[in-house]
Amino acid sequence: MQTTMLKAKLHRATVTRSELGYEGSCAIDGDFLDLSGIREYEQIQIYNVNNGERFTTYAIRAEAGSGVISVNGAAARLACAGDVVIICAYAVYDQNELTNYKPALIYFNEKNEVVRTASSIPVQAHSA
């Protein structure tokens, strides 16, 4: 049996620009791609925290160290500069691979600076 699991997450990155006329994709700072293990041309899901839009595109490499998160092509209608997004990549694993499975979780501040990395999400506490 195979299971689709979260491979990598860029949590609360800020869109730096959206370019309707650019060939479709999402340009991501090359350092963020390398840190997360997301490959250029890999399918990604983008979840826009500001407006609730959820869409699929693919990653392309932006200049390393630039902090760029650019939503391009038709997807530019779904995210604007300044929007906060969560970018996820998923992969299919077999049961043996799941033994040591850990996703790459990258957390950002409002300046698209990496503030921490992790490989697990804390258990959500019950609220009264």
| Secondary structure of 81-122 as H, E, C letters | CCCEEEEEEEEEEECCHHHHCCCEEEEECCCCCEEEEECCCC
Q: Are strands 104-108 and 114-118 parallel, antiparallel or unpaired?
A: antiparallel
Q: How confident is the model at residue 60 (pLDDT cuts 50, 70, 90)?
A: very high
Return mean pLDDT, the chain: 96
Residues annotated catalytic, as ranges: 25, 58
Residue 128 pLDDT exceeds 80: no
Determine the pLDDT at residue 62: 97
Residue 68 pLDDT exceeds 80: yes
SS3 128: coil
Give how far Cα 69 sits from Cα of 112, 115, 122, Å: 9, 16, 26
